[in-house]
Amino acid sequence: MGHHTTEYNPFSTTGQSIDTMNAKDRSSSSFSIATFSALGLAFIAFKKWEQRRRRCRDVRDGLLADGNASGSINNYISVRGQALLTPTQPYIMDYLKCLQDQCDPHSNPQGYIPLCVAENKLIIEHFASRLMQVETAYRAFSESIVYCYNNSLGLPGTREAVAYFLTKHFLFPEERNLSFQEALHWIRPEYIAIGSGAASLVSHLAMSLADPGDAVLIPAPYYAAFDADVKIFAGCVTIPVHSADPTIGPSAKDLESAAVLAEAKGLRVRILLITNPNNPLGTIYPPTVIKSAIDWARSRSMHTIVDEVYALGCHEELGSGFESVVRILKNDLGNDVHHLWALSKDFGASGFRIGTLYTQNNHLLSSLANLNIFTSVSHPMQMILSEVLTDDNFIYQFLDNAREKIRYSYYFCTKRLDEMVIPYVNAKAGIFVYADFSALLPSQTPEGEAQFASLLLDAAHIIMTPGQSQKDLKPGMFRICYCFVSLDVLEIAMNRLDRLVGKIRRWHWDNLNSDSLTDIL
> Domain check: are 305 and 406 in the same one?
no
The helix (H) or strand (E) run that includes residue 115 is strand 113-115
**Domain count across the chain:** 3
Going 192 to 196 to 201 to 204, the CA torsion angle's sign is negative
Looking at residue 513, what is its pLDDT? Answer: 87
pTM: 0.85
In a domain? residue 311: yes
Looking at residue 24, what is its pLDDT? Answer: 42
Looking at residue 42, what is its pLDDT? Answer: 46
> Domain check: are 357 and 476 in the same one?
no
> Domain check: are 361 and 434 in the same one?
no
> Domain check: are 285 and 305 in the same one?
yes
Residue that terminates a domain, selected from 330, 362, 390 = 390
> Domain check: are 210 and 261 in the same one?
yes
Which stretches does DSSP call E strand in 242-302? Answer: 269-275
| CA–CA gap between residue 406 and residue 377 (Å, rounded) | 28
Q: What's the CATH code of the domain at 225?
A: 3.40.640.10
> Domain check: are 263 and 383 in the same one?
yes
Q: What's the CATH code of the domain at 437?
A: 3.90.1150.10
Looking at residue 75, what is its pLDDT? Answer: 77
> Domain check: are 53 and 112 in the same one?
no
In a domain? residue 219: yes
CB 384 within 8 A of CB 141: no
In a domain? residue 141: no
User: Which regions of the chain are under pLDDT 50?
Assistant: 1-39, 41-43, 45-46, 49, 52, 56, 59-60, 62-70
> Domain check: are 99 and 170 in the same one?
no
Residue that terminates a domain, selected from 361, 390, 419 = 390
Residue that terminates a domain, selected from 336, 361, 390 = 390
Looking at residue 46, what is its pLDDT? Answer: 47
In a domain? residue 143: no
Looking at residue 39, what is its pLDDT? Answer: 45
Looking at residue 1, what is its pLDDT? Answer: 46
> Domain check: are 233 and 318 in the same one?
yes
> Domain check: are 197 and 299 in the same one?
yes
In a domain? residue 139: no
In a domain? residue 299: yes
> Domain check: are 303 and 229 in the same one?
yes
In a domain? residue 273: yes
Looking at residue 71, what is its pLDDT? Answer: 55
Condensed to tens digits (0 to 9), the pLDDT of residues 424-461 reads: 999 999 999 999 999 999 999 999 999 999 999 999 99
Q: For residue 377, what are the domain limits?
A: 149-390
3-state SS assignment for residue 478: strand
Condensed to tens digits (0 to 9), the pLDDT of residues 58-82 reads: 544 543 444 444 456 677 889 888 8
Who contacts 201 (Cβ-Cβ below 8 Å, separation ≥6)? Answer: 193, 195, 340, 355, 356, 357
CB 162 within 8 A of CB 154: yes
Write the DSSP symbol of residue 120.
-
In a domain? residue 131: no
> Domain check: are 376 and 412 in the same one?
no
Looking at residue 51, what is its pLDDT? Answer: 56
